[in-house]
């Protein structure tokens, strides 16, 4: 209790370390799950692409065939029947569905003719416009049995997985910084020290609770038993408001009759004896309690 500032600072470091350990445990678990879930997540998005593309042909009957995963980063979308579409419709539909699914933004899309595997149309997307290539998007593709292949470039699927973790880490660092800042503002270093022997240092005073006295330089200041008890309570919680009810209960509950003004009278006497050191103050929050500022 006599090292309020240092203990609160220490607690901040302990809590911060625990939060970071828990975060890394959660994050690597999350990444592992995402790695396993990424293919299925992508397949769902591509099925939605197929459905929307058919609707541009006013076709709600043709079946979207099961999505094929040639690798973790290459997928194929195909249809039961032939279809025709504008490439810019394909670009917009893929972009919209991938954004909804929060898939990586770096990918190459190729439209292959199922009969011979020839590329009828292809484009590349990137979050950098200079690296985005969308050719001839207004020229309609003739009706054919197409396979739409999507390849996530340069293992950007991994980037997608780690991007969330990086964002969470930044938020965690910000939280810890604000937490420490708030606690630093609240924590007020007290001038109370536990010295060797049977006294406490309070500013320029030495407080001997067992001998009911304060010593300042060569001056010895006697304290009554209740003044001593009150000062001991204040020392337990320096720079904190202690309610009147708590003070009365702890000092007078088992020690005879309490008169309404007794607490204020003893506080006044104690304040006067501490006035030798202007850095120590006993302040009153009217109707609430008292605080030892030191």
Q: What is the pLDDT of residues 162-186, one digit of tens each?
A: 555 666 666 677 776 666 666 554 5
Task: Measure Cα distances from 278 to 179, 189, 220, 221 in Å.
Answer: 32, 16, 17, 16
Task: Indicate whether 34 and 154 sit together in one domain.
Answer: yes
- The better pLDDT of the pair 244, 23 is held by 244
Encoded tokens for 183: 């606690």
Residues 6+ apart with CB under 8 A from 21: none
pLDDT value at position 15? 62
Q: Is-contact 290 275, C-beta < 8 A?
A: no
Any bridge partners for residue 142, and if so which? none
Task: Indicate whether 19 and 154 sit together in one domain.
Answer: yes
Task: Measure Cα distances from 18 to 6, 8, 32, 183 in Å.
Answer: 18, 15, 21, 17
The yes-or-no verdict on residue 95 having pLDDT over 70 is yes
The yes-or-no verdict on residue 103 having pLDDT over 60 is yes
Determine the 3-state secondary structure of 196 from DSSP.
coil
- Give residue 78's domain range: 4-160
The yes-or-no verdict on residue 44 having pLDDT over 60 is yes
Any bridge partners for residue 133, and if so which? 124
Task: Indicate whether 133 and 202 sit together in one domain.
Answer: no
Instruction: Provide the 10 A C-beta neighbour count for residue 187.
Output: 17
The verdict on residue 213 lying in a domain is yes
Q: Could you say which DSSP state residue 279 is in?
A: T
Domain count, the chain: 2
Dist CA 141 CA 21 (whole Å): 54
Mean pLDDT of the chain: 80
- What band does 18 get if pLDDT is binned at 50, 70 and 90? low
pLDDT value at position 150? 96
What does pTM read for this prediction? Answer: 0.47
Question: Looking at residue 250, which CATH number applies to its domain?
Answer: 1.10.10.10
The yes-or-no verdict on residue 6 having pLDDT over 90 is no
Q: Is-contact 142 197, C-beta < 8 A?
A: no
Encoded tokens for 270: 């104690």
The verdict on residue 218 lying in a domain is yes
The verdict on residue 85 lying in a domain is yes
């Amino acid at each position: 209790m006599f090292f309020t500032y240092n203990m609160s600072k220490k607690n901040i470091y302990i809590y911060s370390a625990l939060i970071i350990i828990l975060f890394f445990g959660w994050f690597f678990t999350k990444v592992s799950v995402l790695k396993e879930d990424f293919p299925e997540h992508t397949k769902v998005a591509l099925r939605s692409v197929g459905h929307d593309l058919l609707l541009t042909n006013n076709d709600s009957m043709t079946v979207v065939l099961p999505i094929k995963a040639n690798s973790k980063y290459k997928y194929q979308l195909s249809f039961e029947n032939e279809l025709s579409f504008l490439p810019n419709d394909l670009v917009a539909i893929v972009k919209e569905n991938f954004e909804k699914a929060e898939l990586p933004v770096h990918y190459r899309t190729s439209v292959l003719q199922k009969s011979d595997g020839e590329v009828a149309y292809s484009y590349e997307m990137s979050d950098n416009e200079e690296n985005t290539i969308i050719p001839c998007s207004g020229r309609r593709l003739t009706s054919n049995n197409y396979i739409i292949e999507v390849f996530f470039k340069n293992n950007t699927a991994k980037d997608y997985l780690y991007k969330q973790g990086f964002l969470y880490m930044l938020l965690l660092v910000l939280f810890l910084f604000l937490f420490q800042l708030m606690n630093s503002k609240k924590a007020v270093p007290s001038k109370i020290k536990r010295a060797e022997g049977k006294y406490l240092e309070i500013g320029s005073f030495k407080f001997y609770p067992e001998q009911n006295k304060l010593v300042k330089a060569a001056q010895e200041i006697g304290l009554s038993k209740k003044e001593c008890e009150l000062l001991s309570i204040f020392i337990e919680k320096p720079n904190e408001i202690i309610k009147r009810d708590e003070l009365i209960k702890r000092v007078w509950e088992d020690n005879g009759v309490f008169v309404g003004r007794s607490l204020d009278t003893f506080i006044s006497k104690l304040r006067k004896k501490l006035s030798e050191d202007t850095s120590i103050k006993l302040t009153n929050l009217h109707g609430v309690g008292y605080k030892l500022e030191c």
